A and B are shown apart, each in its own frame.
Chain A
């Protein structure tokens, strides 16, 4: 190709991608270090307090490395390995899943306000999970609750997608109104199930709506970890194609993306990640909204690095939020969904105002 007009031979090629690449590396390392620090602190804090050295000692002992740091009392190992560690691991997994689901939803909606809780996917999943519980369903064995959560989440996310889009794009106002409607329908369903249920199922339904990592168990983690792993692998596999989606569906198609297929894969993956998050911990809102947004500001919008840092950021946010939930009020375990909403709600408002200003209206 010849040039349209003479260009200086010395023309310097700016390379913002390299610059963003180094920011990605720094962000990833910082997040990973922060996660380790938060986990070690969180393992030590609580009614039964342990120093970070003692925590590390117990962990080393657990993997078969004898050391002098571990406290002699066997209670320490029990508290850490059976109570606190599963809770932290579950928090890390769910945080990563929710943040990744946010990235995926925002990519296919082309809209930074899409989030599992905001558009009602979490409520849909919670409704499915609550239904399986209220009616005492066991058809899929231990997988029953996650399976019903998946079904509920899938219906909700497809409904939102089909209803809120017109002409290949989603307007902010339509998306949010659709979310209100889906949340209302799922809320009515949950209310009905609460009404139908026994005292114990009622308690569980209420607990889902609040969201909590209390009572995390290794066997539950064994159920949701593979789901989240699969969801993450699919997310990473489609990340480059999600970049092309930012150009609009038609253009993505012109660039070789099989748009319909990608859309179905991404929506299903969102449902999978959200169901894994909701199945045992309930509705934990705004992680998928706040984290991807912060990460975009830090490293730019390219989806592969965004997914990696968002997963780490979501994991970090939930481990810190859970630490606050466990320790903010003595002898009380606050619902973590309340903490994330407390942070996420104002953030969402700020984002809303900013989006409105940038796009000059509600488009």
Chain B
């Protein structure tokens, strides 16, 4: 069995890369993503931010392998995404989508366990129980273990889905607005988890709406607007009052947090 050995990947190595990706939907003439490039490195949390319709979801879909780029390349560990068999891909990267509905009355524990499916009949199967429990504890869904996911609240469902993604045990993570349905504490928990996985040399790409979360938790931010990457770099470089105002058409103040010094974005009201 082909078990990827990524334990030795050096922090800073490029894991997932998009280069000059353009996406023109079938039947459309205008691209919804134009010439976008991005590198997600081991040990980094890489936030994708931008207003609605900026192309974040499209870029995310391209990185996840769901949307085929009309032109440009996407690679994982230097290999073209399309050339990696589905099962092997699932052992290298995990994806959390915004929509996490579950058909039928599968319990939270069963759903989290599905995250281990790519490892069936491999030596890593021995870790299934440990990984499932660790993921459920980390996302605070242990009390929901025996409940049907369909009966849970939106926030609980989102956490169960995140537990499933963590249980997959990959060190490339793609998270599409993982905090959207969550309350304040669980939002911070999820971002801390992303941070923690990065400190364990995982490469984390995360779509965020909350610019303050990006400033506080990301190592690198890519700002999209109108289907283009308008800026990419450290959060403080990218998320300036000028760039935010230009992209979101909303005046903001950006000033350092009085205690931590981390920049804060506050809309001018």
Question: Interface on A for B, CB 8 Å cutoff?
Answer: 1-5, 7, 11, 13-17, 110-112, 240-241, 243-248, 250-251, 253-258, 296, 300-302, 358
Compute how far the CA of A135 lies from the CA of B91 in the bound complex, rounded to whole angstroms.
54
* B interface size (C-beta, 8 A): 50
Closest to A7 in B: B137
Q: Chain A interface secondary structure, helix, strand, loop or mixed?
A: loop
Most buried by A among B104, B115, B146: B104
Q: Closest CB-CB distance, A108 to chain B, in whole Å?
A: 10
Q: Could you say which residues of chain B place their CB within 8 Å of the CB of A2?
A: 138, 196
Q: Closest CB-CB distance, B136 to chain A, in whole Å?
A: 9
B109 touches A256 (CB 8 A): no
Contact with A along B216-230 (1 / 0, CB 8 A): 000000000000000
Q: Does B107 contact A (CB under 8 A)?
A: yes
Contact with A along B110-124 (1 / 0, CB 8 A): 110111011010000
Using A2-B196, A247-B102 as known contacts, say yes or no to A257 and B110 having CB atoms under 8 A apart: no
B118 touches A4 (CB 8 A): no
Compute how far the CA of A241 lies from the CA of B86 in the bound complex, rounded to whole angstroms.
13
Q: Does B5 contact A (CB under 8 A)?
A: no
Compute how far the CA of A46 lies from the CA of B65 in the bound complex, rounded to whole angstroms.
62
Q: Chain B interface secondary structure, helix, strand, loop or mixed?
A: helix
Question: Interface on B for A, CB 8 Å cutoff?
Answer: 64-66, 86-91, 94-95, 97, 99-107, 109-111, 113-115, 117-118, 120, 133-135, 137-140, 142, 145-146, 150, 164, 166, 168, 189, 192-193, 196-197, 200
Q: Which of B65, B102, B193 makes the CB contact (< 8 A) with A4?
A: B193
Known: A4-B139, A255-B114, A296-B104. 12 other contacts (CB 8 A): A4-B193, A7-B142, A16-B109, A16-B110, A17-B113, A243-B110, A243-B114, A246-B103, A247-B100, A247-B164, A250-B97, A300-B106
A300 touches B133 (CB 8 A): no
A256 touches B118 (CB 8 A): yes
Q: Closest CB-CB distance, B141 to chain A, in whole Å?
A: 11
Closest to B91 in A: A256
Q: Could you say which residues of chain B place their CB within 8 Å of the CB of A4?
A: 137-140, 189, 192-193
Using A1-B166, A110-B103, A246-B103 as known contacts, say yes or no to A251 and B66 having CB atoms under 8 A apart: no
